[in-house]
Structure 1
């Protein structure tokens, strides 16, 4: 069932979609939605939005103190002023272009701040709770968005800054009261654990580029939508419908089984379909844009969910500040979205060689997507390296324990998961069975096995490139899940599982 967190985030997503998704405003008069107005707004909004992510990453690293607080007013005030600027543009049309730029910049900064606050909240919760709230919000956001059309347009535009924004700002303030600030992700000072943060950037930048490729594609589609506001309104509707489908698909699948997803592998599978869709663009014309955008945004929405889940997982497992991780990841993704939008505008107005606008857009899109694909896979360094490292998997693990049995072989244990963990000896096999039975994450299973082998906290922290506080937090969670209190109880529990199950 939805709660304050999921409904608040859903309302934020719905309201944000009325302006941020492409500079097309379904609740503002079409008379002011000229090409120059929408282009100016979205350039200002998107660039400030992406830069704010990178700025948050640097800010958390060098000034970790303020990051311990939910500074909602720092995001809410510019967001409110941005919407006031958009409303003012309707009545002061002589200054509409300047107000569009100011409104775009303010909304971009404010929305980035709210996204950071929500990500911080979801990451601070237990994985099952945070992931559930995030996915439920993704399901309810489109429903709220479509419900906004039931309100008279002239009223809706005033309700957003005066009613809706205060509501989702209040919801995050209320929800944040239960946040445990004693977790390693908040306690650990970034500059005191530099190696942990650097290693995280090395491990996750490829995933960011893969998701950024979908963002780039959506930026291109948005550039076409902005040029034609009538088409843009249809794209907005299909985008939100795609979000609903993506959210329902995630929720339904997660309820049935554990999910282990590899972003890089998924991108390699989908890449040929994406570039093939762009190749069809000049042949099928503008009637093809809306369904193409709907399918593309379905993939993009799934990717955004995975981005937030993966960043939260990295923060929990490695003791990294969630704003740092999400700011780095999101900065890459949304900067590539901006690059796609700018490229689409440039290619659409390019008339040399007698190319039609859609032909130019398709040509440049396929070329730049191929470059992003190459860079995202590691570039020349990765292509020539003998060690083909891959991004870590994303885990969505149900809260209920699996009905495994001890001292008896079980076919279901071996069937779960996408890849078998490394089996070294009897203890490794037994730890795999414990992980399956109690639904431990990969990192929890690593820590559990090292504890079972007698490794100290300091040694485990060194081996996993995390802080000692992070190891202690994992140990507490492991002991709670296994319902034990001492190392000897862990050893006895591990020994109670029959390793022949995996043979």
Structure 2
């Protein structure tokens, strides 16, 4: 088993420990939900039709989305409300739901069949919504250097479980409920154990504006999620109706999902977790553009293959959503349930829209070909606009920090003056009402984060490669100084971790190795620290620390 540095909820780098397998428990609920949503494995008898499969998906998603919105609203106001919900009740809802879906075809007909499918789908959807938000909350309390490994590993395990159960049902005629029912139970046991860890202590109540800042930072991801989810829903629905079988439409996609999951996991391991998955979804956009450009030419002969490619793309994008939601929750010290729940709910809504468009397109076979061409043109246009938006945002940031930024002045802004908050003249402290609202965390959190960064700094002096291994001077600033700066200038949790390194003149390479992230990520945090403190070089930052 690989060994890695384990971080506490505030980013503490203490001692190497083994990878905790219980954090892969989300894969079991994930696989169970995918088996319910993406295949007809539960449908038997009269219920085994593409139309009823679509009904199950739509009702489950609606219940899932409603649960996420409802619980997120309660948790945002009072984080302690999450502990008031019995997880076993939601686990039981999933088991009862999938059992009812499975028995509906053999036990009911007509209106009774529809009622049973709707009831079962609603129960399962409610349970899945709770589990999705809860696991997002757990992952949001750990350092992103761990999440970047856990998310792809969970996706790989999910695809293995998905494929294994599907083969067992089809080849050995094993009742799917017997194989699926233990999955939410295992996931819940892992979830309970994770919550018992010190790394998963309840977050303090966060201001509403901090949640707004967290969601604002995810705007590009939310836009991408809306587009990808809608296109995936469209491809899934049209493929199922095109071959008139949900089972046949999922054979090859299962295998391709497994290959994509393995490739992503190998990539993360080979990168030694010194990567930031937040930008990787941009690589999926050109592939998606090429896919929808060729869809009109191959749809009539290869709908399953095209659906498989889109399914693999969306599977990788799902991993990116997990990672970015967790990293944002950690960064802004907010509940992962709220941030993840809202992002997921919007994603589900877009997928339902895509399913509806696909159903309408295939409803009239005579015009289906022309309608598919129109949808593909719109998809390519949206993806190109998304790619341009992301490229332009990355190309023209409001504040640029050069790679060798020890004493360099920032490049001039190409989009106007930088928009900052809590920014005052160098050396003067902002008043209490000028900061601590958007993207900030409490003084206690700042002090802990700074102390943890100091602990990581000690490790870096002995473990980080390069010439910069000398220990900090005896007259180095006290952790309380960094905590005070972080609070006064509204630094996020990870920016507070980087601050002590910058104040000691450490390079991006050394900081990246100490915090298990990429150098580009460190430069991004450096840029934001400079923006918020209205300084332009490390020397000015050192002067600021000295004046405190």
Corresponding residue to 2:136 among 119, 143, 146: 119
How many Å apart are 1:311 and its aligned residue?
1.0
Looking at structure 2, the residues matched to 391 and 195 of structure 1 have their Cα atoms a distance apart, in angstroms, of: 28
Secondary structure of the corresponding residue to residue 354 of structure 2 = helix
Structure 2 gaps of 5+ residues are 2-18, 411-423, 459-471, 480-499, 511-522, 524-548
| CA contact 1:204–1:391 (8 Å) conserved in 2 | no
Q: 1:8 and 2:25 equivalent?
A: yes
* Residue of structure 1 equivalent to 2:276: 260
Which runs of structure 2 are paired with 1:33-432 in the superposition (5 Å)?
Answer: 33-68=48-83, 71-94=86-109, 95-148=112-165, 149-150=167-168, 154-160=173-179, 162-182=181-201, 186-187=203-204, 189-190=205-206, 193-227=207-241, 231-257=245-271, 258-263=274-279, 266-267=281-282, 270-271=284-285, 273-350=287-364, 355=367, 357-367=368-378, 370=381, 426=407
* Residue of structure 2 equivalent to 1:20: 37
How many Å apart are 1:286 and its aligned residue?
3.6
Between stretches 366-375 and 305-314, larger displacement belongs to: 366-375
Deviations along 1:74-94, one digit per CA (max 9) or x if unpaired, are: 421221221121122032231
Looking at structure 1, the residues matched to 250 and 507 of structure 2 have their Cα atoms a distance apart, in angstroms, of: 55
Q: Name the structure where helix makes up a greater proportion of residues.
A: 1
RMSD of aligned alpha carbons = 4.1
Looking at structure 1, the residues matched to 396 and 331 of structure 2 have their Cα atoms a distance apart, in angstroms, of: 12
| CA contact 2:284–2:313 (8 Å) conserved in 1 | no
Q: 1:465 and 2:439 equivalent?
A: yes
Q: What is the TM-score with the length of structure 1 in the denominator? A: 0.74
| CA contact 1:18–1:26 (8 Å) conserved in 2 | yes
| CA contact 2:23–2:190 (8 Å) conserved in 1 | no
How many Å apart are 1:124 and its aligned residue?
1.9
Secondary structure of the corresponding residue to residue 140 of structure 2 = helix
Change (3 A) 1:52 1:284: same
Structure 1 gaps of 5+ residues are 394-418, 430-449
How many Å apart are 1:220 and its aligned residue?
0.6
Change (3 A) 1:229 1:112: farther
| CA contact 2:289–2:383 (8 Å) conserved in 1 | no
| CA contact 1:209–1:372 (8 Å) conserved in 2 | no
Looking at structure 2, the residues matched to 391 and 327 of structure 1 have their Cα atoms a distance apart, in angstroms, of: 30
Secondary structure of the corresponding residue to residue 124 of structure 1 = coil
How many Å apart are 1:261 and its aligned residue?
4.7
Change (3 A) 1:166 1:181: closer
Deviations along 1:105-151, one digit per CA (max 9) or x if unpaired, are: 22111111111122222222233333322221211222222222235
Looking at structure 2, the residues matched to 298 and 106 of structure 1 have their Cα atoms a distance apart, in angstroms, of: 27
Looking at structure 2, the residues matched to 308 and 278 of structure 1 have their Cα atoms a distance apart, in angstroms, of: 25
Secondary structure of the corresponding residue to residue 302 of structure 2 = helix
How many Å apart are 1:328 and its aligned residue?
1.6
Change (3 A) 1:3 1:169: same
Q: What is the TM-score with the length of structure 2 in the denominator? A: 0.69
What is the number of equivalent residue pairs in this alignment?
A: 438
Looking at structure 2, the residues matched to 175 and 166 of structure 1 have their Cα atoms a distance apart, in angstroms, of: 14
Looking at structure 1, the residues matched to 448 and 131 of structure 2 have their Cα atoms a distance apart, in angstroms, of: 27
Secondary structure of the corresponding residue to residue 276 of structure 2 = strand
Deviations along 1:406-439, one digit per CA (max 9) or x if unpaired, are: xxxxxxxxxxxxx96577654999xxxxxxxxxx
Change (3 A) 1:158 1:203: closer
Looking at structure 2, the residues matched to 486 and 90 of structure 1 have their Cα atoms a distance apart, in angstroms, of: 75
How many Å apart are 1:234 and its aligned residue?
4.0
